[in-house]
Structure formats: structure tokens, C-alpha cells
Structure 1
Amino acid sequence: MKIHEIPISDTENKDIKLFELTNKAGTIVRITNAGASVTSIKTKDKNANFSDIVLGFDHPEEYINPNYLDNCIFIGSTIGRFANRIAKGKFNLDGKTCKLEANDGQNHLHGGSSGFHSKIWNPHIDNTDAGEILVMNLYSPDGDAGYPGNLKAEVRFSLSNDNELIINYNAKSDAKTPVNLTNHSYFNLSGKDTDILNHEVMIFADKYTPKDGDIPTGDIIPTQKTPFDFKSFHKVGDRLALLPKSGYDHNLVINGKEGYLKRAAVVKEPESGRTLEIYTTMPGLQFYTGGHLDGSYGNSFRRFSKFAAMCFETQYFPDSPNHPSFPSCIFGPDRPYSHTTVFKFGIE
């Protein structure tokens, strides 16, 4: 795998960088340090034609444009300190109430308006025996967005010759704090300006966390005989009539042990023949089908409209700091954060 920096013109912020990762299969992944965001993934289809399979902006500076951040849809970005929602923007930790920004109604979402998606990360390239790795580092001080502890976060991106985009997340804090990092890429394997309703999805989850509004009830119940049962392939659009108008935006409990890399989901797009496999060491997966995309944003190829693409956000469960029965998302000096997610691209 090779990585090189792509020169950026016409930007006032000279700290913004854009990198291109390539492998022997010809796959190209572009990543900017603006939000540590994946901007483009170009893979070949069954006819050996390459096209982009994720939503992304044409220019890296768009990821930190104030107008975009005021109405953010988190296109391809690294999310932190806590991916997903925390009810009413607060939680108790060792007897102390921590108050966060309520940026999603009454709730805290994706680290708040000043979350990791809005930061310019410090990038460098590591040369390893396995090839070059793009490394992004970020320092989040004590009290940042209301979170306790001085946190140092590192995200490592690599592209294997087996067509795997490997994302390693690491973080260390000098005090106990919730940590839940994920990537918010929106996938559409067709590579065309069309919706994802005919994509076929399988998710290896026997259980899910039901919710009241957007917040989990605290229960963990079987997916069997629900629209969340993806243990066999289902088209995205098959059961939307059984869901709210916004479609899927739910946390599924991935089978297998936390900390062990396991296959979480498989996606197929029949026309192009492209496939996507998701592997993770995390306990949960937020399956989101882009129901809140409203066409406000786009690139030179398409508008980002409802059901234009879908996300597979590997994660700790939403509102985990307020649910002791959920897997613990609390990390600190004696428990550093370390997780891996792999997006593997293929053809059938």
C-alpha cells in the first residue's frame, strides 16, 4: 500500500491536508485530517469499472465549514468522544454528574457541536513492515464538550492488498471518561446516483436495543420476528413500512465477544456485483439508512438525499454511560481504549 499527500489549492486553512491510499487492486481511498474524514473510496465493479462508493465532499475544507457544522450530517468523519446519543446530555461518573451539550433536542449527539468531527487532526505517515499507515492524532483537554479527563486519541488508517480498509482506534485518558469512537461513512455500493433500497444486507446480531424516541430503553431483546432480524439477507427497502419514516437508525448487538475481531455485517449490491464486509471488535453496530439526509449537501456527482447511502457505525451502545447493564464505555488510566473496524471490499 502507498500513501501520498494530495496538494490542496484555494484553501485559507493551510493545516488542512488530503491523503490518498492505494493498493495493488487499484482501490483508492482518500482521507482528510479535517474531522479525520474518509472523503472517497473508489473500488471496481464486476465489469472492472471503478467508481466512488461513499458520500463525500469535493473539497476537504467543506468538512469544517461553519454552515455545514451547524447542520452536520457527519459525512465520513471520525466521531468522538462519544458516538451516538447520551440522554439529556448528562451522566453520572463516580458520584459526579457530568453535563454535556444538548445538540440534538434534549440529547447529546456524536460528541456535540465541537466533537472530533469538527477538529483538524494532526496527521503523519508511519512506515511499517506491512506498508504505510496514515495516522491521525488529536488532543481533547479535560472539560472538552463537558467530558472529564485529558484524552489523547489516535486513529490509524491502512489499506491492504486484500481490499481491506483497516481502522485502528486508540485513546488514553488521565481520568475516567466515556470513549466511543466510530467512522461515519455513508456507503452506496452501486457507485451511481441512486438510492440504497435494493442493497441486500446481512447483520450478525441476534439481539438489539429497543429505544424510546432516540434513546435506548435499557432492554436488550431478540431481533427474531422484528424488522431488525438481518441474519439472512434482506433488501434495505423491504421492511421500511414497519419503521418510522426515517427508516433504520438502530443499534444491533453483534454476536461474539467484545475485543475480538468478528464479522458484523455483509452488504451486496446486485447490479454492480460489489460487496462490503464489516468486521469489528466493538459490541454494537448502528445501522443507519440515511433517512435524515435531505439534499442540503452534495458534491459534483450527486445530492445527499434521503436513502442515498447507509452507515454501519461500530460502537458501544447508545447512552451507555447511563445504562450499567450495557458493555462499559468508561476508560481511564488503568483502561486504555483500543478497538478495530475493518471495511472489506469485494465482488461477486
Structure 2
Amino acid sequence: MKIDIKDLQRGWKEYTLRNDHGMAVSLLNYGGIITRVKVPDRDGTVENVIIGYKQVEEYETNPNFFGALIGPVAGRIQGAAFELDENVYRLEANDGDNHLHGGSNGFHQVLWNSEPIQYEDRVGVVLSYSRKDDEGGYPGTVDVSVTYLLTNENELILEYKGVTDQPTPLTLTNHAYFNLSGNGKRTIHHHHVTIDSHRFLELDEELIPTGTAMDAADTPFDFRKGRLLSDGITERTEQNDIAGHGYDHYFLFDHSRSESVTVKEQMSGRVLTIKTDQPGMVMYTANNLQKGLELHGGTSKKHMGVCFETQSPPASLHHEGLPPVVLQPNERYQQRTVFTFSTDK
């Protein structure tokens, strides 16, 4: 196992983690961005299975959040404001009237402190950052670290930690767009997905959760027995239409299985399993991805990747009964998500 380090522009570094079985993960200290994940298919052909820019400089703005570390709050905050302890905090409205993914200066735009780590059975990088009180409109000085680890079991492990000196919302995720066909050869229509969830959050026309957890049974949102992503892309239900013909919804995990998500791509034989201690995730099927961006393996188009954004829901800032996102000074934010790659013979 080894780590390669490449120095790039303005203090950027690209770390490439390699294990002994042909898997490699590349990431930047800028934005915590995963730029490539290379894994073998059933025939042993190693290809990239996430969507990313061909030119690394394009990540400086990265409006699609390709591979990015998202925070301090992943997802949309209704009305770009929230109330906490009788104080109203107003944030940047960077998505219509709402606040998205920490704003234009969120964690995806931060040059993180980075430290490579290497053990006998895993290699990785620890990213750390101290957010100042009122930065981006959020209360509290928050010290955050995110560890990316690659094991010889073809596991990509993301460990998130944070502490604060004031009550503050904090829910982090990674915004990688997966495409198991390899090098973006096909869209994700025929990715077969299983999700340990029987409820999802209803969205309004602005993609803001209404606070209602809908029963997924007998809808294209019921993935408990597995289904193709094309079901929701082509089905004309109101919720799929609102999302732009696909999914952009928060799924509440049942935690009845050890694996929260399983993804299979039949032609390549690649399988992705996701285990997490997060209460749920946003699954986004790149419904709004524009055409013509220069990416690894070709140019972008709609439905070219699928994101599994494991996190707590920011809708809990406005609606009761949902997993909370507010971190208290006497608490420690600590979450873990494991992406494991294999093949189905």
C-alpha cells in the first residue's frame, strides 16, 4: 500500500491512495474533493467509477460539487435562515431563496490542512479545518477533521469529527457522483440499487422538504427489494417530476440491515455497498447536470452519476420529528461511512 503526493497550484495537493489489489483513490486538500476512484470490473479491468473534471483547475468553482466535502451543513436550509436558542441566523441565499451546501464559501471551497497517514493494512489522509465564529453566518468556532482511508478490502472509509464552542448546525457528507460502468461509459439508468429504507422526505417545488416523511411502499421510492434507477427517472410521479425526473430526496434508513445501500452495475459486474451510522442520505441522480463539461472519460450529460450523501437532514432545523443536526458544546460530532467495492461474478 502506498500514497503518492502531487503538488499543484496555490498550495493544492493531490493525494493518491493505492492498495495491493488495484484500487486507487485520488483526493485534493482543496475542498476535500475526491477526483478519482479506480476499481477493477469482473474481468480485472481497472477504471474510474466517479464523475470528475478532466482538468483539475475546474474544481476551484465546482458548481456541481463533484466529489466535494460538503459542510458545515449539507443540503438545503429553507429560507436561508434558522432559529437557535431564540436567535435567528441568516445565511447566504445561493439556491433561489434557500441556502445550499454551506454556501459559496462552504467547506468545498476550503484549503484544508492535510496529513498523510500509513499503516500496514490501510493508507489515508487526515484533513482538518477550524471554522471561525460567524463564518458564513453560522454560530460557533468549530474544529473539524475528516479522515479518508483506503484498505486492502477495497474499502474507502470516511470518518468525520467535529467539536464546537457554541450550539451550531453541523452535518457533513461527500458529494461523489458514482458511475459503476467505468469511465462514464453509460448513464446510471441501469444501476440496480437496494436501500434499507421505507420512508423518504417529501419535497416542495423548491426541493425543500415539507417535513412529511412519506411511505415508500408501492412507489418508485421503495428500494427495499432493489430496483433500477431508471424506474424513478422515467416514472412520472409528482415527486420524481419535482426532482427533475429522478431522485433528489432524503431517505430515512431503517437500520434493519448491516448495509444501508447496495449498488450493482450488471455489465461491468461492479458492486458498491455502503455502511454508515448516519440516520439517512440524500440520493441524487444528477437530474440537473448540464451537458458538455470536460470530464474524465468524456463529456457530461444528465443522469451520468448518482450521489449517496449520507448525513442528517437540515430539514430538522424547521420541522420536528427528524434526526437533529445541531451540535452542542458538550458533544462530539462523530460519523462514519464505508464505501466497499467488489464484483458480482
Shorter-chain TM-score bucket reads over 0.9
- CA contact under 8 A between 1:32 and 1:60: conserved in structure 2? no
Q: Equivalent residue for 1:48?
A: 44
**Mapped pair 1:206 → 2:205:** no
Q: Which amino acid aligns with 2:107?
A: F
Q: Equivalent residue for 1:277?
A: 273
Return the TM-score normalized by structure 2: 0.93
CA RMSD of aligned residues (A): 1.6
- CA contact under 8 A between 2:200 and 2:250: conserved in structure 1? yes
Q: Equivalent residue for 1:227?
A: 220
**Offset, 1:154:** 0.5
Q: Distance in 2 between matches of 1:335 and 1:220?
A: 27
**Offset, 1:223:** 1.0
**Mapped pair 1:146 → 2:137:** yes
- CA contact under 8 A between 1:150 and 1:174: conserved in structure 2? yes
**Offset, 1:288:** 0.6
**Offset, 1:5:** 0.6
**Mapped pair 1:26 → 2:22:** yes
Task: Give 3-state SS (helix, strand or coil) of 1:327's partner.
Answer: coil
Return the TM-score normalized by structure 1: 0.93
Q: Distance in 2 between matches of 1:102 and 1:173?
A: 24
Q: Which amino acid aligns with 1:253?
A: L
Task: Give 3-state SS (helix, strand or coil) of 1:306's partner.
Answer: coil
Q: Distance in 2 between matches of 1:247 and 1:154?
A: 33
Task: Give 3-state SS (helix, strand or coil) of 1:88's partner.
Answer: helix
Give the % identical residues. 36
- CA contact under 8 A between 2:123 and 2:151: conserved in structure 1? no
- CA contact under 8 A between 2:198 and 2:254: conserved in structure 1? yes
Equivalent residues in 2 for 1:182-221 (5 A)?
182-191=173-182, 192-213=184-205, 214-221=207-214
Q: Equivalent residue for 1:93?
A: 84
**Offset, 1:158:** 0.5
- CA contact under 8 A between 1:215 and 1:318: conserved in structure 2? no
Unaligned runs of 5+ in 2: none
Instruction: Pick the aligned partner of 1:133 from 124, 140, 151.
Output: 124
Count residues in correspondence.
Answer: 336
Q: Which amino acid aligns with 1:306?
A: K
Q: Distance in 2 between matches of 1:24 and 1:266?
A: 24
Instruction: Pick the aligned partner of 2:150 from 159, 162, 178.
Output: 159
Equivalent residues in 2 for 1:1-348 (5 A)?
1-8=1-8, 11=9, 13=10, 15-64=11-60, 68-69=61-62, 72-128=63-119, 130-191=121-182, 192-213=184-205, 214-240=207-233, 241-242=235-236, 243-244=240-241, 245-256=244-255, 262-348=258-344
**Offset, 1:233:** 1.6
Q: Which amino acid aligns with 1:124?
A: E
**Offset, 1:166:** 0.2
Q: Given the superposition, is the C-alpha separation of residues 346 and 211 from structure 1 closer, same or farther in structure 2, using an over 3 Å criterion?
A: same
- CA contact under 8 A between 2:201 and 2:209: conserved in structure 1? yes
Unaligned runs of 5+ in 1: none
Task: Give 3-state SS (helix, strand or coil) of 2:303's partner.
Answer: coil
**Offset, 1:296:** 4.8
**Offset, 1:207:** 1.1
Q: Given the superposition, is the C-alpha separation of residues 29 and 315 from structure 1 closer, same or farther in structure 2, using an over 3 Å criterion?
A: same
